[in-house]
Amino acid sequence: MSDPNEEVLLAFLKAHPLAHTIPSTKVRRYVQAGQALGEAVLARVRKAYPGRSAGEILEAEGVKIELRTAPQATGIEILCEFQAFSSTVLVYPERLESAWARLSEDVRESFRGRMTDIALAHEVYHYFWEERLPEKEREGGGEPSPLALLFPVPSERDQVVRSPVVQEIAAQRFSQALLGLSHCPALLALS
């Protein structure tokens, strides 16, 4: 029996606008790579900020959090975003509410009152990946790693970790684990 969260992430990958960039024979490995990246960044964040919430982590890092009215959506409905140039996370509350309302009842119940936390945790991953991890670690360094087992050829591994789809999967896994959620936050994008 496969992991239900991995199945959600597979569906997320297949629905992503950049899914066509992933070789069909490697889809499951790309999902596993994203999960491994999410777990690796989570270990670093938990070591640096044990027991702290996503909002507290961002605040300690000097990242501003702003609630905003969402811009006109075209394509993917972005719930929040990290803007590196201003070191700011923009949160779009009306989109969070809309995404929450589309979820099934059991998932909605498990996410109740946690939507902003889920969005912030997702952006903590992106912040740490873009701003805090040394280049060697972003390239899948630190042999032997789960990434090296999934993609033994360094050039292929580098391509995988830089994939926007893999980065989103990593952020989903990171968020779920950081917050101890029973359901994968990728369900928000699939609802």
- For residue range 34-92, what is the model confidence (pLDDT) as tens digits? 999 899 899 989 999 999 999 999 999 999 999 999 888 666 778 899 998 999 999 99
Question: Whole-number mean pLDDT of the chain?
Answer: 85
The rounded distance, in Å, linking the Cα atoms of 95 and 47 is 32
The rounded distance, in Å, linking the Cα atoms of 125 and 10 is 19
Interval 19-34 mean pLDDT: 88
Q: CA-based Rg of the chain, rounded to a whole angstrom?
A: 16
More confident residue, 120 or 188: 120
With a cut of 80, say whether residue 152 has pLDDT above it: no
- What tokens appear for 137 in the block? 């670690």
- What tokens appear for 77 in the block? 């409905």
What is the residue extent of each domain of the chain? 4-190
3-class state of residue 82 by DSSP: strand
Please answer whether residues 110 and 182 qualify as being in contact, where contact means their C-beta atoms are separated by less than 8 angstroms: yes
Please answer whether residues 191 and 12 qualify as being in contact, where contact means their C-beta atoms are separated by less than 8 angstroms: no
- What tokens appear for 174 in the block? 């990171």
Give the pLDDT confidence score for residue 143 in this predicted structure: 44
Interval 111-130 mean pLDDT: 92
The rounded distance, in Å, linking the Cα atoms of 26 and 22 is 7
| Furthest CA-CA distance within the chain | 45
**DSSP code, position 69:** P
Output the pTM of the full model.
0.87
Give the pLDDT confidence score for residue 146 in this predicted structure: 67
Give the pLDDT confidence score for residue 181 in this predicted structure: 92
The pLDDT-based confidence of 123 (bands split at 50, 70, 90) is very high
Interval 108-136 mean pLDDT: 87
